[in-house]
Amino acid sequence: MLNYPANDLERILLSEEEIKVRVESLAKQISKDYTDTPNLYLVGILKGAFIFLADLARHITVPHKVDFMALSSYGATTESTGEVRIILDLRQPVERMHILIVEDIIDTGNTVHYLQRLLKGRQPASLKTCALIKKQRNSIEVPVDYLGFTIPNVWVVGYGLDYADTYRTLPYIAELKKEIYQPR
């Protein structure tokens, strides 16, 4: 049993079952789209996408490899600085690979935009993006080939998403109360 205070959460936006069904559906579509494609390379963005990537990868039925990158544009705040930093890069070259970026959330769009440009410069055979959730407003509109859900512009936690490295292991996605991340 998780021991996060339930009163930290405003409401549950996406249930465990809703997420499970959608992840399986995304994996099925990805498997269909990459049926005859060698060298599928799933690139999960740490830390937030690790649960989503694990569940997605287990349901993808075509051969694939998995790697991770860690990027940051938030630091210790809830507002994006707009400056994206690479904290952990890929372990191998991706030339001629079919890259699928796997991201937990597209908030401002800055991180995914930066990553798409960066990886495109490494000359993959193809580059697509899969995101579990996308907020309704984005500073930068980025192409998303596979999208789980669109949510309101609220701070969300659970299923890999966190606030101050907390709430990440909740099995659902919930809106965090404003007073938790914006104390008076």
Q: Is the dihedral of CA 162, 74, 105, 54 positive or negative?
A: negative
The whole-angstrom separation of Cα 184 and Cα 173 is 25
What pLDDT, in 10s, does the model give residues 118-168? Answer: 999 999 999 999 999 999 887 788 999 999 999 999 999 999 999 988 999
Integer distance in angstroms from the first to the last C-alpha of the chain?
Answer: 30
Residue 90: the pLDDT is 92
What amino acid positions are annotated as catalytic residues?
107
Secondary structure (3-state) at 65: strand
What pLDDT, in 10s, does the model give residues 84-118? Answer: 888 998 989 999 999 999 999 999 899 999 999 99
- Residues of the chain with pLDDT > 90: what percent? 74
The whole-angstrom separation of Cα 72 and Cα 47 is 10
- Nearest to 16, CA basis, from 33, 28, 2: 2
Calculate the average pLDDT of the chain: 91
- Helix (H) and strand (E) counts in the chain: 4, 9
Phi, psi of 143 (to 5 degrees): -70, 130
Cβ pair 120, 127 in contact under 8 A = yes
Which pLDDT band, with edges at 50, 70 and 90, does 2 fall under? low
Secondary structure (3-state) at 72: strand
Judge whether residue 76 has pLDDT over 60: no
Residue 43: the pLDDT is 97
The whole-angstrom separation of Cα 134 and Cα 108 is 9
Residue 101 tokens, joined? 């970026």
Judge whether residue 52 has pLDDT over 80: yes
Secondary structure (3-state) at 142: coil
Secondary structure (3-state) at 22: helix
The whole-angstrom separation of Cα 159 and Cα 52 is 7
Q: Domain 10-31+48-181: state its class.
A: alpha beta
Query: 10 versus 5: which is more confidently predicted?
Result: 10
- Nearest to 34, CA basis, from 9, 59, 11, 68: 59
The whole-angstrom separation of Cα 82 and Cα 76 is 13
